[in-house]
Amino acid sequence: MKLSARSAAFYCMTLAGLLALSACGKNEQQPANQPAAPSTAPAPAGTAAHPAPSATADAPAHPATAPAAPAPASTAASAAVPAAAEGFQVSSITLGDAITSEHKVKKEATIFSPSQKTIYVSVDTTGTTQGATLNAKWTYLDKNQTIVSTSQSIVADSPSTTTFSMKNPDLWPEGKYKVDISVDGKPVASKTFEVKKS
């Protein structure tokens, strides 16, 4: 009887140990300092902000296939806290189909051909800033559809020009469009334009 009581106690302890081991690793919670896995698909190419070395941000776009909701622009630049600015502001924006070597639109235009591959906007600023983020959001107004949104971080100690562009290898749908310019997330200027056959 003593032997079987010891055996029963041994079996009970072994069973309890196995149950404890099998419970390890189940229902683990993710540590608070680890980011959760993304639940959405990556943003389509061409919607993230990647300023080109020539101070022109090119972004391929196609209104017919662009997503209904814009993908968020890169947050790397907007995460930085901008230093104090002295009178920094957007003085004018100019649309056109070509730019100079100084990144300024050659000739202002508000009507473009559907076959125009690239549309540019020059953003002229005055004042100084040790860090600001300019953003250009292009919208196809006829369908209330954001085509692309791009950002550039700039440092300025005198009047300067920053150029954005949107490209379409196909024909632009005819209709009305708009480009909105913001500084550090605050809207400061906008301009409407039209695409139509001449």
Confidence of residue 198 (pLDDT cuts 50, 70, 90): confident
How many alpha carbons fall within 13 Å on the CB side of residue 165? Answer: 23
- Average pLDDT in the 77-95 region? 68
> Is pLDDT above 60 for 79?
no
CA 186 to each of CA 17, 90, 134, 180, 190: distance values in angstroms, whole numbers, following the listed order = 61, 11, 9, 10, 12
Q: What is the mean pLDDT of residues 97-103?
A: 93
Across 46-50, 94-98, 174-178, 184-188, least confident range: 46-50
Class for domain 56-195, per CATH?
mainly beta
Residue 189 binned pLDDT confidence (cut-offs 50, 70, 90): very high
Q: In this structure, are residues 70 and 126 in contact, taking their beta carbons and an 8 Å threshold?
A: no
Over residues 16-40, mean pLDDT? 41
How far apart are the C-alpha atoms of 194 and 198, rounded to whole Å? 11
**The pair of three-digit structure tokens given for residue 11, joined into one six-digit string:** 């079996």
User: What's the rounded Cα separation, in Å, for the pair 73 and 59?
Assistant: 12
- Lowest-pLDDT range, 6-10, 139-143, 144-148, 182-186? 6-10
Mean pLDDT within 147-153: 96
For residue 87, what pLDDT is reported?
87
Q: Is the pLDDT of residue 50 over 50?
A: no
